[in-house]
Amino acid sequence: MRIGLVGSSLLAVLTVLSACGSENRNGIQAGDGISLEQVQWSDATARQLREAMAKRAEHGLDRVRYDDPGNTLDSEKLTALALAYAGALAQGAADPSKLHEIYSVPRPRPDLRAGLARALKDGKVDSWLESLAPQDEQYRKLSETYLALRKQGQAAAPAIPPVQQPLKPGVTDPRIPTIARQLVAFDYLDTAAAQGDRYTPAIAHAVQRMQADYGIKPDGVIGSDALEILNLSDADRARTLAVAMERMRWLERTPPATRIDVNIAAGRLTYWRDGKIADTRKAIVGEPDTETPQLGSPIFRLVANPTWTVPQSIASKEIAGKGAGYLRRNNMAWKNGKIVQAPGPKNSLGLVKFDMQNTHSIYLHDTPVKQLFGEVQRQRSHGCVRVEDALGFAEMLANDEGVLAQWREARATDKETFVDLPREIPVRLLYHTVLFGADGAPVIRNDPYGWNDRVAQALGFDIGSGRRVRKTPGDIGP
């Protein structure tokens, strides 16, 4: 079994955002007008339900409590249990809109009552339940790995034993390979540099970058603070895998074939075209306290040379008191009681904005602060999503949508100009802390917002103990 051992070069295949593969229609469509009142439970179908419930660890649901009706044919109790478990498989055991202040990513909407009625009539409650969870290879890998961890006891002991004396660069220690592999999994170290048991300069540099991201003195010395970040016990891993399965159950089984998925936790954007990955690139997302919300919101137009109307929250906290000279240097001026930044290379939106339809003022855009794309932890914005090489991405979208000529003409004006897309492109802002390597093995990454805890609690797990990414001062952009 292998978790978390993957090089940064392989993370481009983080297709956890593929959202669960093809939808199995059993139980998803309404069932021939059959109602639950017209069918009865039998010994066979009741046994199928009990056997399915006994195997719910396959979905990381073994800690979720269900009312057990025992060996009974009480129709009301069996139906209630079947619908509760079917709902967990088909839509998730928890409602994400209740766990998060904002959650509008499209979710499955199966007719479970009709599906159960059909399953009871056909005597196939077991196969109906099996059809409801995601059917793709990634979900299967999560399930297999979770079961393997569960079988070996989910030991709470850390994978890296504590250090009596801090590990300093240059030493040789049997813990170094495990430390290096976890640095690779967290994207701080290349796979080629994770060799041997010597604490090399490359590993030390990776440790320093990690320490800086988490607010620890970046001295490259591995003490208890650094190990707290790197250490994942089997129990930690099992909890994270169960959370990952739950988040996949929240998603539509057949997402739009052409769409843009942004993994907020990893700071990555994936562009799907006609069911295939057309492009993947880095993204900068909201920092802790100004998190990017989990939204389903389409791009409906491209904006060339955008202006930026500074939100009141940013104006009052970060611009107020800077004076007229600051405004002039940044091409800003007061208009109708608000600060507006004129188009140009200094504009905080860069040279292109991808306008999205939502009530939260969240959108994709360019940025003049390109160096942030070189960071490992790219939770650095005020909530919007900054796209690596946004101009190149805009060209790609404009070309694919047949408006390339209009887009180039708009860019050449040097003025804010709008180019409507002939069709909206769905965008999903998701939060996934398990990625997949080229071999399909799950790779556990960090949880920058701490959002895994609330999902884990809903599944019956304890809260994790890991450190969170530090909020850092940055530019004023959205």
Mean pLDDT of 443-468: 88
Return the higher-pLDDT residue of 469 and 462: 462
Mean pLDDT of 48-77: 93
375-411 as b/e, with b when 16 or more CB fall inside 10 Å? bbbbbbbbbbbbbbebeebbbbbbebbebbebbeebb
Q: Residue 189's closest CA among 176, 204, 174?
A: 204
Q: Give the least confident one: 14-28, 94-108, 262-276, 448-462.
A: 14-28
Dist. CA 461–CA 87, nearest whole Å: 19
Report the percent of the chain where pLDDT is more than 90: 73
pLDDT exceeds 80 at position 100: yes
Tokens 């129709």 identify what position?
A: 75
Dist. CA 157–CA 13, nearest whole Å: 31
Dist. CA 91–CA 93, nearest whole Å: 7
Mean pLDDT of 348-375: 96
* Contact residues for 142 (Cβ-Cβ < 8 A; gap 6+): 60, 241, 244, 245, 248, 434, 442
Tokens 């399965």 identify what position?
A: 245
pLDDT exceeds 60 at position 19: no
According to the model, what pLDDT value does residue 466 have? 65
Mean pLDDT of 104-123: 96
Q: Give the least confident one: 266-280, 286-300, 314-328.
A: 314-328
pLDDT band at 474 (very low <50, low <70, confident <90, very high): low
pLDDT exceeds 80 at position 2: no
Mean pLDDT of 398-423: 97
| Cβ 41 vs Cβ 120: under 8 Å | yes
End-to-end Cα distance, the chain: 42
Strand, helix or coil for residue 37: helix
Amino acid at site 402: G
| Cβ 139 vs Cβ 133: under 8 Å | yes
According to the model, what pLDDT value does residue 70 have? 82
Map out the domains of the chain as residue ranges: 23-65+74-133, 256-442
Dist. CA 305–CA 121, nearest whole Å: 61
pLDDT exceeds 50 at position 14: no
Amino acid at site 408: R
| Cβ 66 vs Cβ 85: under 8 Å | yes
Q: Give the least confident one: 48-62, 312-326, 331-345, 425-439.
A: 312-326
pLDDT exceeds 50 at position 153: yes
pLDDT exceeds 80 at position 472: no
According to the model, what pLDDT value does residue 327 have? 93
Measuring CA to CA, how many Å separate 137 from each of 188, 272, 472?
Answer: 27, 18, 37
Measuring CA to CA, how many Å separate 440 from each of 5, 343, 437?
Answer: 11, 44, 5
CATH number of 256-442: 2.40.440.10
Beta bridge pairs of residue 425: 299
Q: Give the least confident one: 21-25, 208-212, 288-292.
A: 21-25
Say whether pTM exceeds 0.85. Answer: yes
Instruction: Give the tens place of pLDDT for each residue, 194-213.
Output: 999 999 999 999 999 999 98
* Contact residues for 67 (Cβ-Cβ < 8 A; gap 6+): 77, 80, 81, 84
Dist. CA 24–CA 134, nearest whole Å: 8
According to the model, what pLDDT value does residue 86 have? 98
| Cβ 225 vs Cβ 162: under 8 Å | no
